[in-house]
A = this chain, B = another copy of it.
Amino acid sequence: MNKLKNDLLLRALKGETVERPPVWMMRQAGRYLPEYMVLRRKYDFFTRVQTPELACEITLQPIDIVGSDAAILFCDILVIPQALGLEVQMVANKGPFLPVTTTTQADIDRLTVEGAEDQLEYVYDAINLTKKELNGRVPLIGFAGAPFTLLCYMVEGQGSKAFNTAKQFCFAQPELAHQLLDKITTATIAYLRRQVEAGADCIQVFDSWSGLLSESDFKIFAEPYLLKIANALSPSVPVILFPKGSWYALENLSNSSASALGVDWCVNPKLARSLTQNRITLQGNFDPNHLLKPIADIKREVHQMIDAFGKDRYIVNLGHGILPNIPVSHAKAFVDAVKSYPNR
């Protein structure tokens, strides 16, 4: 394995003192990049995900084009439901669609956890290839969806504003919900271990919908499974947990085996630090819609954000994925602002 030339991300995850924080952007390999759009027009979504050469090419694009300090594998959180035996379609202008939902004991019994991770060899191949192509330039982040978020899609069968059906499943049939969450968790741990074996330097777990839960429901349906995953992987590989919207969980999770917590823009840096008391690295939290502001404003706001979080134990990121209509020059300005820190 090549030694990393840029190990800022890993040093920030260890809590080491750094000259400036590392920066990457959620969905940095995505629709705002014209180079990605070329591939998107040529290959459908799961072809891009399942072809290691394409996944690798897409993963590298933002490293070459905007200069992020970390690559994150181009993949999807719904490969786990697929590996468990479910069909997942990606419908144009609608998003994911699962024709068969998981809402009964029989549905759950049908999910095959044993060897599910072996269905996803293409992911490990893509990681392998990407590590080779990166040649130590920056670390590679592997990832998975958190169990509660995957449950949301598996029960609801599609995206939703409030995932009421999924939440009602949890509240009305908690025993089934925990069975399902257990199965997802087991498969996810095996999957992430294989990602690490293949070369992932760090793992991020996306709980994109945990913020729909109250603090007490988060403790029942999200937190235990996040902790199980973090405990299974740490300390051999650093784990970033991103329970989007669940600012109330920061204090508890800062005492976990995770190396970092992602935060969105709905919690201000000062409060996030006060809840976590510098026990853990924080990652976030620029509202991607601010990237439509003039470049001078972006630069100023990024510097203010770093000042507010502090440059150590901090990874600069957005609070959610970058949006398709952000000009590449503005995405690059975001990254460059971090690289110029602390010079105004």
Listed in ascending order, the chain A residues whose CB lies under 8 Å from chain B are 159, 161-162, 164, 167-168, 171-172, 211, 213-217, 245, 248, 265-268, 271, 287-290, 292-293, 320, 323, 325
Residues of B within 8 A of A215 (CB): 266, 268
A-B contact pairs, 24 of them (CB 8 A): A161-B161, A162-B320, A164-B288, A164-B289, A164-B323, A167-B287, A167-B289, A168-B289, A168-B292, A168-B325, A171-B292, A171-B293, A172-B292, A172-B293, A211-B266, A213-B266, A214-B265, A214-B287, A215-B266, A217-B265, A245-B266, A248-B266, A248-B267, A248-B268
**Chain B: which residue is nearest A217 at the CB level?**
B287
Residues of B within 8 A of A248 (CB): 266-268, 271
Contact at B266–A214, with CB atoms within 8 Å? Answer: yes
Smallest CB separation, A292 vs chain B (Å): 5
Residues of B within 8 A of A323 (CB): 164
Smallest CB separation, A221 vs chain B (Å): 12
Smallest CB separation, A102 vs chain B (Å): 18
Residues of B within 8 A of A211 (CB): 266
A268: which of B162, B171, B216, B271 is its contact (CB, 8 Å)?
A: B216
Residues of B within 8 A of A167 (CB): 287, 289
Contact at A214–B292, with CB atoms within 8 Å? Answer: no
Q: What CA separation (Å) do A292 and B42 show in the bound complex? A: 46
Residues of B within 8 A of A161 (CB): 159, 161
Q: What CA separation (Å) do A215 and B171 show in the bound complex? A: 31
Contact at A289–B245, with CB atoms within 8 Å? Answer: no
**Chain B: which residue is nearest A320 at the CB level?**
B162
Of A159, A161, A164, A211, the most chain B CB neighbours within 10 A belong to A164
Q: What CA separation (Å) do A267 and B217 show in the bound complex? A: 12
Residues of B within 8 A of A172 (CB): 292-293
Q: What CA separation (Å) do A273 and B33 show in the bound complex? A: 46
Residues of B within 8 A of A217 (CB): 265, 287
**Chain B: which residue is nearest A326 at the CB level?**
B168
What 15 additional pairs, Cβ within 8 angstroms, besides A164-B323, A172-B293, A213-B266?
A159-B161, A161-B161, A162-B320, A164-B289, A168-B289, A168-B325, A171-B287, A171-B289, A211-B266, A214-B265, A214-B266, A215-B266, A217-B265, A248-B266, A248-B268
**Chain B: which residue is nearest A294 at the CB level?**
B172
Smallest CB separation, A45 vs chain B (Å): 19
**Chain B: which residue is nearest A218 at the CB level?**
B266
**Chain B: which residue is nearest A324 at the CB level?**
B164
**Chain B: which residue is nearest A319 at the CB level?**
B214
Residues of B within 8 A of A214 (CB): 265-266, 268, 287
Q: What CA separation (Å) do A325 and B165 show in the bound complex? A: 10
Smallest CB separation, A179 vs chain B (Å): 18
